[in-house]
Amino acid sequence: MKVSEIPSGFLKMIFEQAEKEYPHECCGMILGSRQKKEDFSRVRPCANVYDRYHELDPANFPRTSRTAYFMDPRELLAIQKEIREKDEAIRVIYHSHIDAGAYFSEEDQRVAASEGEPAYPGVEYLVLSVKEGKVWNTSLYHWDNQRKEFVL
């Protein structure tokens, strides 16, 4: 998939979220039909709770929401319930980088893959570069089975 294949209205909603949450990373998902991979149904923004976890456990959460995102595990469970009820699937997980490029960092790779396999098989990752409060560009990453990593 290419960024251009994501409905423009969905991108507009994600851009608005990213700019509103600046200077903190935003995060969320694009959901779609379980049967038709090309059918997108909705944007599901998520709260970035990294700061809360940083306060509770700075050793395991050493960064802040300016340089990292963490979706609340309870919210992820609620999303799993929602998509089962609506017969949807996660198509894209997105997050922003603050005053940095739209690259898939080592930390992004680490979180998105576990033991050499994607944590969410078939899901792509949209990264937004937000500089001075405005989205500058985006990149969409997919899993490469041969390289065992997410690539453009």
Q: Is the pLDDT of residue 54 over 80?
A: yes
pLDDT of residue 35: 86
Phi, psi of 49 (to 5 degrees): -100, 20
Mean pLDDT of the chain: 96
Provide the pLDDT for residue 4. Answer: 87
For residues 90 and 75, the answer to whether their CB atoms sit within 8 Å is: no
Mean pLDDT of 79-108: 96
CATH number of 3-135, picked from 3.40.50.300, 3.40.140.10, 3.30.1490.100, 3.40.50.2020: 3.40.140.10
Could you state, in order of their start, the residue ranges of all structural domains in the chain? 3-135
pLDDT of residue 73: 94
- 37: pLDDT strictly greater than 80: no
In the predicted model, is pLDDT for residue 119 greater than 80? yes
pLDDT confidence bin for 118, thresholds 50/70/90: very high
First to last CA, the chain: 10
pLDDT class of 1 with cuts at 50, 70, 90: confident
| DSSP letter assigned to residue 48 | B
